[in-house]
Amino acid sequence: MPARRPSLADGPASDHPGTDGSASVIGRPADATVDHASTAPPASSEGVRVVAPARRTFTPSPAALATVGLFVLFFGIYSSFGSRLVALPVSRWRTSFMFHADPARVSGSLVAPPQHEDHARSNVHPLFSLLYNPLGSALTAALGSSRLAITLLVATAGALGVALARLFFSRVGFTLPDAVILAGILGVTASHAFFGIVPETYAFTAAGLVAMFWLLARGTRHLAARGIVHLLAFASLISNIVESALVSIFLPRPGVSRTGSLVRAAGFSGSILLVAGALSLLQLALYPRSTLFFMPASLQNETRYLADATDPAIFAARAGRLGLHMFSYSFVAPRLCFIRATPPVRSLPTVTFDSDECTTLESVSPLGQAALAIWVSLLAVAVVSLVRLVRQRRSGSAEPVPEAPVLAALGLAILAHVGLHLVYGDNFFLYSSTWTFEILAIVALLVRRLAYCSARGRLAFRGVLLLFLALLAGHSAMFLETIIGIFARARL
């Protein structure tokens, strides 16, 4: 008989008290109370031996150790690469040399004085300065180095996204080893690795998105917890309000109709916008160069990033590039394109993945081909699983799908990214942190529906994931080394 699929309702065994980080007393359930009166030593008398009460012993669970270990590991990796990149001139120049990222401006948002112009992009990153500039300024004062403070903040956000991903994958039913491997895969994707070391807002964005989907997987209905997490996600990127609304819509509410869920989700999202608006006014008072995200005039400047959708050939080519970035480049970095300045212009080279002006193509590593082959295979299996699931549901023979709300929210979020970036954005890799986790999560969930049907399938699935992780880690390390190397050697 095939093994029963794990259910969101029961959650993985590693997520229960005493096995996933909840403190427990040996020999006693985690939630048991201690009756100190009953454990007090008996009164001493002649011939009676007094026995001391047992001491409480707190032992961290393997799941808690794994989560902390992932955070520490990736914090160290991102800090190591990031400290080298932040020390280079490319991180301080006002020109976007790396995938149109803006490290100089974001560095200013993190550590610059309140009157600085780098706080002006709050029209797209609504509360970034208000939330993170005090932390960056305090770290700079404590460490005596703004570069180190910036490196540590970005690395913390990147590592936090990986640790939260472990919690998410465990909560949706993956075994602890598989959840750790999947979280590790997220951490070494081209997107997450790059934005874990570059001063940008997108590591914070990714962490917020993962946290929201984790709360959805847990079925968390606590208003304050949801409000804080959703507000933090929105603070880094204005478009995260879409995921916030989707997570709210698909949050399980027993006894509430679909219409009722929609009404509550609309009310919750409206509340997030109202609170963010009030905080935006506070931010404007503290940071006079910031802008109010809810003013129509503040978004007019974004029209320069709108694409031409009138020419079918141009639109089709753009759609093809978007698909490559979303389902390939964000995970396995392709050959890098270096656009070098033409004399007499003296400038640093520009790094991207695809450009008609490309003058130099450089392969990152041979490991990438093997990693890409595995990733394409996983995508293919996910498509087969999705088609099978749709057919079963249409025929009425499908088994219950406990993770259906998560799958629906992830799928609609990915479609929202497609719709937005078909008409908006100049370099797709810049936005890749907003969809990389979502695509990885939905692929893993769909593949699991086939792999977890037998013990042999689980073992094969884990083996493939481990191989993919090893290949991708090596490839992404060379990807980062290549970028750092080209700018370290650049001479003006």
Which residues does the chain have with pLDDT short of 50?
A: 1-45
Three-class SS string for 252-318? Answer: CCCCCCHHHHHHHHHHHHHHHHHHHHHHHHHHHHHCCCCCCCCCHHHHHHHHHHECCCCCHHHHHHH
Residue 286 amino acid letter: L
Dist CA 421 CA 322 (whole Å): 7
CA dihedral 205, 409, 468, 5 (to 10 degrees): 140
| Cβ neighbourhood burial of 139 (10 Å; 0-12, 13-18, 19+) | buried
pLDDT reported for residue 256: 86
Nearest to 484 by CA among 198, 220, 160: 198
Dist CA 50 CA 52 (whole Å): 7
Name residue, tokens 């970036």: 421
* Contact partners, residue 467, CB within 8 Å, separation at least 6: 374
Dist CA 264 CA 249 (whole Å): 8
Q: Is there a contact between 336 and 353 (Cβ–Cβ < 8 Å)? A: yes
Domain boundaries, the chain: 62-489
- CA 71 to each of CA 165, 351, 435, 473: distance values in angstroms, whole numbers, following the listed order: 10, 29, 21, 16
pLDDT reported for residue 79: 97
pLDDT reported for residue 451: 93
| 350-352, strands of its sheet edge to edge | 350-352, 336-339, 360-362
Nearest to 443 by CA among 481, 404, 410, 476: 410
Q: Is there a contact between 395 and 461 (Cβ–Cβ < 8 Å)? A: no
Dist CA 322 CA 376 (whole Å): 16
